[in-house]
Structure formats: C-alpha cells, structure tokens
C-alpha cells in the first residue's frame, strides 16, 4: 500500500469514529446534566476527549504525510506520534476534571436521579464504543498505524468506564448514592492508566528507543555470503516506520566496488525481512583480524 493511500485510509477511519464519539459524548453529557449523575457526566467528558483526540489525530496525520524535505530529511512521520502524545495530554485533563467533580459530590450534594432511561443511555453508548474499539483495532493492525491503535486504547478505556458507570447507577438505584462519586473516581483511575500506557509508548518513539533487536538484525546480515560480521547496530522510529544503521565487515582485499554491491545486498535483505524499515544505512569496514 502506498504512503498517500495509507494516510487517506487512516484519515477516513478517524473521521468516521469522530462522528460516533461526538454522538456518544453528547448523549452522556446531556443526560448526565439533566439527572445530576456525576459518573455519567464524568464519562461524558471522557467521551468528549475521544472526539478531541480524533481531531488532533487528523491534524497530525495531515502533517505527517508530507514527504521528506530539506528541513526534515527523515520525513514527517513523527507528527503522527506527536498526535498520539496529544491524546495523552487530553487524558490528563480529563483525569483532573473527573476527579474534581467526584470530590465535589463526595463533599455534599443531592442524590442523583436514576431511572430506566439512565441504563438505556449507558448501554446504548457502551455498544457503540465496543464497535469503535473493534473497528479501530482492526484497521490499526491492517494499516500498521500507531495512531489508530492508541485511539482504540483510549476508546477501550471508555468501555471500562461505561461499565463502571452502569454499576454505579445500579448502586444509586438500590439506595447507595455515595457510590456515584466513588464510581467517578474509579473512572479517573481507568483514564489515568490508559494515559500512562499511551505516554509510555509515544515516549519510546520520541526518545529513539531501540525498535528491532540487535541479534535479529545480525542474524539476517550474517546470512549473506562474504559478510564477515557487523557491529554498531542501531534502530529507531516506530514499529511501522523504522530507520536502522550498522557497520558491516568485509575481507580487507574486497574491492570498493564489490563491497558497495554487497552493502546493497545487505540493505535489500534487511528491508525484505523487515518491511517496516524505511531506510537502512550500511557502513563498510574491513574486518578485524579476529573476524577472519
């Protein structure tokens, strides 16, 4: 699949999910404020950030599809990673808002009004979120998009929080209104956990953490005839857009022409073995005496 085609498909997935997330958020917030149920309001804010993260993801995606240029010789792929990091920021804001609302209710306030409609709204939005998670995860794997996978993880946390809200509504229905704000605090924990996971994964890309195991690369390189060894193996980037560089040893009497030809064989073999490699830099070196 070509890069423009991949970006277009990821963009379309995000656009479809955006409309669904806005509908879910409006339903939860509207019903939550009408009934005064803190857990539903908290869950509504969580769903609202789903839509906001979709918008940020689409903005980042438009920027990341630009080809390499003089100022960005490695391309603009990290803008998509930055968009995923933006989801992390939104989750932090939601944790603060949800915790504030829950603590205010614990400090005092009237019991929320829970009816059969409350359960109907939450079950309907839960079903939509389950469909979104399944859809985004499937498309994220197919398109190898960390942005879609991060967004699916975000929405999956929405599924967990919705289940918590339904349990809280049941407790309020049975005469335990204090469990409504407690449910809101539980939601904050779920959101914080999802935020930590997304922040961890994006920081690995932005800090150039190793992507491919050194031994796996060495095994592939050493399978090529006339290669005597390799070292200084480095990899960075994301799981679907990786850059590697390494030093490859050839016999000292190998001509420059032959060493150059073999270096391209090494590069082609690596990119065939690992399709996610965007580019590989091969440094040619004479093998040390111990390697002969």
Q: Residue 131 CB: number of other CB atoms within 10 A? A: 13
Q: Which domains does the chain have, with CATH numbers?
A: 3-206 (1.20.1510.10), 214-291 (3.30.70.1350)
**Phi, psi values for residue 66, rounded to 5°:** -65, 140
Q: d(Cα 181, Cα 175) in Å, to the nearest integer? A: 14
Per-residue pLDDT of the chain (292 residues; tens, 9 = 90+): 555 577 788 888 989 999 999 999 899 888 888 877 777 887 887 787 778 778 877 877 777 667 777 877 777 777 777 777 777 887 788 788 778 877 877 777 666 777 778 888 889 988 998 999 899 999 888 887 777 887 887 777 778 778 878 888 888 888 887 877 887 787 788 778 877 877 888 888 888 888 899 999 999 999 999 999 999 999 998 877 789 999 999 998 999 999 999 999 999 999 999 888 888 999 999 988 765 5
Cα–Cα distances in Å, from 173 out to 121, 235, 270? 15, 55, 61
Instruction: Round to whole Å and give the CA distance between 17 and 255.
Output: 57
Q: What is the DSSP string of 76-139?
A: STHHHHHHHHHHHHHHHHHHHHHHHHHHHHHTS-PPPP--HHHHHHHHHHHHHHHHHHHHHHHH
Structure tokens, 39:
């857990």
What's the pTM?
A: 0.63
């Amino acid at each position: 699949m070509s890069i423009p085609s991949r970006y277009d498909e990821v963009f379309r997935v995000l656009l479809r999910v955006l409309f669904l997330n806005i509908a879910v958020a409006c339903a939860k917030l509207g019903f939550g404020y009408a009934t005064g149920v803190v857990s539903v309001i908290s869950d509504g804010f969580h769903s609202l950030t789903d839509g906001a993260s979709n918008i940020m993801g689409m903005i980042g995606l438009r920027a990341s599809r630009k080809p390499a240029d003089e100022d960005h010789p490695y391309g603009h792929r990290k803008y998509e990673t930055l968009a995923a990091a933006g989801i992390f920021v939104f989750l932090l804001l939601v944790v603060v808002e949800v915790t504030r609302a829950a603590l205010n209710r614990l400090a005092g306030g009237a019991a929320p009004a829970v009816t059969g409609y409350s359960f109907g709204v939450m079950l309907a939005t839960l079903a939509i979120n389950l469909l979104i998670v399944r859809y985004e995860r499937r498309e994220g794997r197919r398109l190898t998009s960390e942005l879609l996978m991060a967004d699916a993880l975000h929405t999956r946390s929405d599924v967990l929080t919705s289940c918590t809200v339904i349990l809280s509504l049941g407790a309020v229905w049975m005469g335990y209104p204090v469990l409504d704000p407690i449910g809101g605090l539980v939601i904050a924990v779920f959101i914080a956990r999802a935020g930590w996971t997304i922040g961890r994964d994006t920081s690995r890309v932005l800090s150039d953490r190793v992507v491919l195991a050194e031994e796996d690369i060495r095994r592939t390189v050493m399978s090529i005839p006339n290669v005597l060894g390799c070292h200084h193996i480095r990899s960075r980037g994301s799981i679907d857009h990786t850059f590697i560089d390494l030093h490859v040893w050839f016999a000292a009497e190998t001509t420059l022409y032959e060493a150059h030809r073999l270096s391209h064989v090494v590069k082609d073999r690596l990119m065939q073995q690992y399709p996610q490699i965007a580019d590989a830099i091969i440094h040619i070196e004479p093998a040390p005496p111990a390697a002969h």
